[in-house]
Amino acid sequence: MKFTCDKAALCEAVNSVSPAVSAKSTLVALECILLSVKGTVLTVVGYNTELGITKTVDLSAAEEGDVILNARLFSEIINKMPAGPLRLSVDDKLLTVITGGSAQFTIVGMSAEEYPEIPKIDPEHSFALENATLRSMISETLFAVSQDTAFPALTGTLFEGKDGVLYLVSVDGKRLALRKEAVGAIENFKFIVPGKTLSEFMKLSARFTSDKEDGSLPVSIGVGSRHILFSCCGFTMISRLLEGDFIDYSVAIPGKGTTTAVVSTRAFMDSISRASIIISEKVKNPIRANFDSDTGIIQVSCETSLGKIDDQIPADLKGNSLRIGFNDRYMIDALKASGEDQVLLELGSTLSPIKIMPLEGDSFTFLVMPMRLKDDR
């Protein structure tokens, strides 16, 4: 195998697939990157049996073949090579020579036959979504994915297609995030994508570039019985799906609350952030918020062994006055994910979930479960 490739293009390909390479494995090949040349296309692959990332690079001329190389070593070599073209050749004994400028490395490769085969998907469902839209939907739900492996299905995000609308839902038992978008004609489906996969997709998709300023570059998505495949700009990412039943999220979302508040997202976040100064890992007291409809003020307070704080922010309050407690980090995560200057808060009672929505429409719904206050009955 022989090929010449610009250093920047090869570095981008190798760095992009590296997150799917195992740091340590009993199977040495999983600590490697697969390089394969067919025709004038170089394919770079990282795969750890759960997640696989592939990047193709067009070459002007090449000699076909394949090899697997230690990912850490190969990445360090090419990243530290001089700028410009890099030449790579592999002989019959898999000795791999990498040349760039005046520098030349010779390392030992392994046979591509030792590399595990990436699953091939026979899609049961296929659709495309603009990269900007998909990134927005994932970022607004990923924060609520559960870290509790005792409930595997909740360590991922539910993708549900229903009547031309795509729903993404994450739940961790203490909060819920729902994001929906009308995406045209799609089939009805339901599957769960691991949170780790979506985190890696967010990093990878940031590399997608487009001449279109509106970020409308399409990402193709194919879903099989056990795997999902994302494709865009020569990149592909394949991941296993999570098994098990997701909760019936529609039941968890309460109806219209008896108290509503339109509040500045930044002002509310800043107030909660100030109150959280006296909260620590050892001292996890709730933030107390008193929604006073008579004064149009949300009084924010907290008291721990470290101290006490009282603060207040204005809001457009309607309905009953209400006092409620909540976890500071959970509320800030939800407010930050909204991406809105103002949000609508709906509350039903002291022990009902706090619902966070946009002022217009219903593109997202976030729930934050309340924390019981000492004087609650």
Q: What is the CATH number of domain 2-114?
A: 3.10.150.10
Residue 212 has pLDDT above 80, yes or no: no
Residue 205 has pLDDT above 70, yes or no: yes
Residue 49 has pLDDT above 60, yes or no: yes
Torsion of CA 22, 26, 27, 30, to 10 degrees: 0
Q: Whole-angstrom Cα distance, residue 242 to residue 182?
A: 25
Domain with CATH 3.10.150.10 in the chain: 2-114, 125-249, 253-371
* CA separation, residue 145 to residues 139, 156, 209, 231 (Å): 11, 6, 28, 23
- CATH of region 253-371, choose from 3.30.70.100, 3.40.50.300, 3.60.9.10, 3.10.150.10: 3.10.150.10
* CA separation, residue 50 to residues 143, 190, 238 (Å): 21, 20, 8
pLDDT in tens, 280-294: 877 678 999 999 999
The one-letter amino acid code at 118 reads I
Of 274 and 213, the structure prediction assigns the larger pLDDT to: 274
Predicted local confidence at residue 25, as pLDDT? 85
Predicted local confidence at residue 209, as pLDDT? 64
Predicted local confidence at residue 244, as pLDDT? 92
Predicted local confidence at residue 375, as pLDDT? 67
Highest CATH level, class, for 125-249 = alpha beta
Residue 373 has pLDDT above 90, yes or no: no
Predicted local confidence at residue 67, as pLDDT? 97
pLDDT in tens, 180-198: 999 876 789 999 999 999 9
Predicted local confidence at residue 160, as pLDDT? 96
Q: Are 274 and 311 in contact (CB under 8 A)?
A: yes
Structure tokens at 328: 């500071």
The one-letter amino acid code at 297 reads I
